[in-house]
């Protein structure tokens, strides 16, 4: 099982926030686009556009490569080889990735307010850790579940439920940006806060959520309000 876990950093905390990564904390679409087109070029295939690549994000690296193969008419039998190439590039693809505004300040404030922080993403664990380390945030997340941690990925609820279990089954709020995240939270019966500035394609009103926000500066107050309602 590929996941990252520092149990000693959770002890004594009473509440948790689990975050998606791509489209939620970070905008990695440019690096994903670059890594994917490197694979296509190595295969002698035409590139995909940035908008195409961005639309492929959300269901894990394997599905992204499937969609790229379909987009350029490549041989599906090349999937495993192309995925391996992509993952090799992806582990160091951090230099065009950016944090969304106010993410760092929000995470620091949440930690100070006693929240345990975790990651539940469909991104594999190695590139997840690499990009968090790049931004100096790896140690903020004692639990990280990636797309290669379990046999299933989001929107199956198992990764989110496993993340919460690794946190000691603390009461948890899930924060994400997409249809996949909204479905995951719904299926896991976990309250969901929707970040509206990520990779979502569906109208906000059409996605199940307990709160929605467009600036991470608002998240500490949203989390505090949820905790107060839960513990009047």
The predicted pLDDT at position 55 comes to 87
Q: Which residue numbers are catalytic?
A: 20
Domain span(s) for CATH 1.10.150.240 in the chain? 29-90
pLDDT single digits (tens) 130-143: 999 999 999 999 99
The predicted pLDDT at position 92 comes to 86
Q: Residue 126 half-sphere exposure, CB side, CA atoms within 13 Å?
A: 10
Task: State the CATH architecture for 29-90.
Answer: Orthogonal Bundle (1.10)
Domain span(s) for CATH 3.40.50.1000 in the chain? 3-28+97-230
Residues of the chain with pLDDT under 50: 1, 8
The predicted pLDDT at position 10 comes to 64
pLDDT single digits (tens) 104-136: 999 999 999 999 999 999 999 999 999 999 999
Task: State the CATH architecture for 3-28+97-230.
Answer: 3-Layer(aba) Sandwich (3.40)
The predicted pLDDT at position 58 comes to 76
pTM: 0.89
What is the C-alpha separation between 6 and 9, in angstroms, rounded? 6
Phi, psi of 75 (to 5 degrees): -75, 120
pLDDT single digits (tens) 165-181: 999 999 999 999 999 99
Instruction: For 77-135, give the secondary structure using H, E and C.
Output: HHHHHHHHHHHHHHCCCCCCCEECCCHHHHHHHHHHCCEEEEEECCCCHHHHHHHHHHC
The predicted pLDDT at position 8 comes to 46
Contact 217, 201 (CB under 8 A): no
The encoded tokens of residue 230 equal: 């839960």
């Amino acid at each position: 099982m590929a996941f990252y876990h520092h149990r000693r950093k959770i002890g004594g905390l009473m509440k948790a926030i689990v975050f998606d990564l791509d489209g939620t904390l970070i905008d990695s679409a440019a690096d994903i686009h670059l890594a994917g087109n490197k694979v296509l070029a190595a295969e002698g295939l035409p590139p995909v556009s940035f908008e195409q690549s961005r639309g492929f994000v959300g269901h894990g690296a394997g599905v992204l490569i499937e969609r790229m193969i379909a987009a350029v008419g490549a041989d599906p039998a090349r999937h495993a080889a192309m995925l391996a190439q992509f993952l090799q590039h992806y582990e160091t693809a951090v230099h065009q990735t950016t944090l969304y505004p106010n993410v760092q300040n929000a995470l620091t404030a949440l930690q100070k307010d006693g929240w345990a922080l975790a990651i539940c993403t469909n991104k594999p664990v190695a590139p997840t850790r690499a990009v968090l380390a790049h931004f100096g945030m790896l140690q903020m997340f004692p639990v990280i579940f990636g797309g290669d941690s379990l046999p299933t990925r989001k929107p199956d609820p198992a990764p989110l439920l496993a993340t919460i279990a690794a946190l000691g089954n603390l009461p948890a709020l899930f924060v994400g940006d997409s249809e996949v995240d909204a479905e995951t939270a719904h299926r896991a019966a976990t309250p969901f806060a929707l970040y509206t500035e990520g990779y979502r394609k569906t109208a906000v009103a059409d996605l199940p959520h307990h709160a929605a926000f467009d600036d991470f500066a608002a998240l500490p107050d949203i989390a505090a309000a949820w905790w107060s309602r839960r513990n009047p």
